[in-house]
Amino acid sequence: MLSVIAITFITLFASFIGTISGFGLSTIMLPTLLLFFPFAQVVLLVSIIHWVHGGLNTLLFREGINWHLFAYFGIPGMITTVLGARLLGIESKQLLPLLGLFLIVYSLLLFLAPKFQLPHNRLMCVVGGSLSGFFAGIFGMRGTVRSMFLTAFNLPKVVYLATTSIISFSVDSTRLLVYVFEGINLNESLWWGMFFFVPASFIGAYTGRYFVHKIPTKYFRTIIAVFLLLVGVRLLVFPT
């Protein structure tokens, strides 16, 4: 019961800060939970919460979906997420250092090139979707990779939200099926905890929207970048 309460507060905090900073829930929640819980279970847990989010947002913003962009970005992501999700069955001690390296490179990129932008064309769509899907499958983290590619298209806010939501929902649906097929599961208390985790994620996101224009995003992004760097070093040097 103690772990359920702890995860509920972590979910609430991660969703709140993720909304303000623009990172998203999984970027903060997943590295935090990895310090206390097994790798595969953390990825599955965060994936389910993220899947519910993606499904709801897809319904809310469905009229703004850019199907052309989904075809070039989302479908490659659905294909490569299968490969990434299959690799999740590997012993976690082999994957954790790789995740640590990924977090280190990502955090350094935030420091050194915060305004870096990629060219927008079909090739970049396919490459971005493929990388995003793979990282989603193996690490449960792909929001930054996806945003790095899609923000180059300067989409209207509603179109961006709708398109990223259906991409997320499609990729999450695909990788969750693979996780189930691979036999990855949660213990009973965590399944019951979903009745608390999912509402907490929505409360955090809803509350964060009221502060998103009041608190300078750059401060949160800097703090989170430092946190991800420290977690990355820890996972790379001392995988558990």
The pTM assigned to this predicted structure is 0.77
Contact assessment for residue 12 and residue 200, using Cβ atoms and an 8 Å cutoff: yes
Q: Which residues of 209-219 are buried (b: 16+ CB within 10 A; e: fewer)?
A: eeeeeeeeeee
Tokens of 130: 């493929």
Q: Band of the pLDDT at 217, cuts 50, 70, 90?
A: low
**Amino acid (1-letter code) at residue 164:** T
d(CA 47, CA 196): 15
Phi–psi pair at 219, nearest 5 degrees: -70, -45
**pLDDT tens string 28-65:** 788 788 777 888 888 889 889 888 877 877 887 778 88
* pLDDT tens sequence across 80-104: 999 888 887 665 556 668 777 877 8
* Torsion sign over Cα 54, 202, 184, 37: positive
As a whole number of angstroms, the distance between CA 147 and CA 10 comes to 23
Q: What is the mean pLDDT of residues 174-201?
A: 88
The CA distance from 159 to 157, in Å, is: 5
